[in-house]
Amino acid sequence: MVVRTSSSPSIPAESLEALRRAAPLTQCITNAVVTNFTANALLALGAAPAMCDIPGEAGMFAGIAGGVLVNLGTPTAEQRDAAREAVTAGTPWVLDPVAVGALPVRTALAHELLAARPAIIRGNASEILALAGAGAGGRGVDATDSPDDAVEAARALARGTGATVAVSGEVDLIVDADRTARVTGGSVLLTRVTGGGCALGAAMAAFAAVTRAFDAAVAASAVWAIASERAASVSRGPGSFAVAFLDELAALEPSGLRAVDIEIDRPDTVVAGIAR
């Protein structure tokens, strides 16, 4: 049986409404390269960022935050200890396993942190394949695989950890133990700005503070796709795009997020397209 509907509630729109109402405190243990951009992206989105990554404070702060991001881009010894504290607080948290598989310290830490059961795991296809034990990682932080290559690995990782797994790429793939969503669109200029993907992980943490993990990942991916397309349309290149992207995040209204179609052809599959 196939069910099609264009009148189903819009996961991205409802999630953005909830986020704007709550302005969730979002703790980011993230890499030094992207801290400023990530904080500004969260502020533009409507969340409240806090870059609290000091051992002795990180776990305490995670207990009062609505969502937590653990990004392994520059995992110093202090950040590794802060991450271990934060993920035990019981707050929904996102694991962004940057360059996992290719480098040993972060790979070991990522596998250790999986035991604390992240709400969402977000990475590129090569990172997800490596984390699932099905690949060796990409070229540093760059993927050498496509999201379609990582479908089975993402699904296995979701079933093994209980997390929603979000695979970023030309088409974003979001899976949990029961469902699969694909979010299309977005601008290639996101890959020309440091922090575009890392800030997406932070956005997922913010959305996870106000909605279920699967919905949070879908909503953040849809927001990133639409805001980046709108920013690209008024930009001359990566520099102006970065500024315009923040402006478009702030200007985006829930009514601008419309689910065109949700197709269910078996209980464990959902495919969502986002209108432009």
Burial (Cβ within 10 Å: 0-12, 13-18, ≥19) of residue 202: buried
H or E element at residue 206:
helix 196-208
Domain map of the chain by residue range? 21-179+186-220
Distance from the Cα of residue 119 to its chain's centroid: 11
Say whether domain 21-179+186-220 belongs to CATH 3.40.1190.20.
Answer: yes
Quick check: helix, strand or coil at residue 190?
helix
Q: How confident is the model over 142-157, as pLDDT tens digits?
A: 555 666 788 889 999 9
Please report, for residues 11, 27, 102, 175, the alpha-carbon distance to residue 182 in angstroms, rounded to integers and kept in the order given: 13, 27, 27, 9
pTM, entire model? 0.89
Sheet holding 93-96, edge to edge: 48-50, 25-29, 67-71, 93-96, 120-124, 164-168, 172-175, 180-183
Instruction: Read off the tokens for 105.
Output: 């310290």
Count of CB atoms situated within 10 Å of the CB of 143: 23
Residue-wise pLDDT tens for the chain (276 aa)? Answer: 222 233 334 788 999 999 999 999 999 999 999 999 999 999 999 999 999 999 999 999 999 999 999 999 999 999 999 999 999 999 999 999 998 987 899 999 999 999 999 999 999 998 999 898 865 444 444 555 666 788 889 999 999 999 999 999 888 999 998 888 888 888 999 999 999 999 999 999 999 999 999 999 999 999 999 999 999 999 999 999 999 999 999 999 998 886 433 332 233 444 444 443
For the chain, the first-to-last Cα distance in angstroms comes to 28
DSSP annotation of 234 reads T
Q: What is the pLDDT of residues 223-247, one digit of tens each?
A: 999 999 999 999 999 999 999 999 9
In this structure, what token pair is assigned to residue 238? 């990566």
H/E stretch holding 120: strand 120-124
Contact 51, 30 (CB under 8 A): yes
The answer to whether 164 and 217 are in contact (CB under 8 A) is: yes
- Between CA 123 and CA 128 the distance in angstroms is 6
Instruction: Please say whether the beta carbons of 172 and 147 come within 8 A.
Output: yes
CB 83 within 8 A of CB 111: no
The residue behind tokens 């709400």 is 119
